[in-house]
Amino acid sequence: MNSIKKYWAIFQITLINSLAYPGELIGRSLMIMPFMWIFYQLWKVT
């Protein structure tokens, strides 16, 4: 049970750290979009 608490605490810290920089979060989300589009186009072809 202690390991679940440990992982929950790590998750909370990571989430707070990600939300502290909303510009970086938006930038990362936008940067992944071209890759998703490319893989979608490749998947459609096959």
Give the 3-state secondary structure of the chain.
CHHHHHHHHHHHHHHHHHHHCHHHHHHHHHHHHHHHHHHHHHHHHC
pTM: 0.51
Range of the domain at 11: 2-45
Dump pLDDT digits (tens) for 8-40: 999 999 999 988 888 988 998 899 999 999 999
Q: What is the structure's pLDDT at 22?
A: 86
Q: What domain count does the chain have?
A: 1
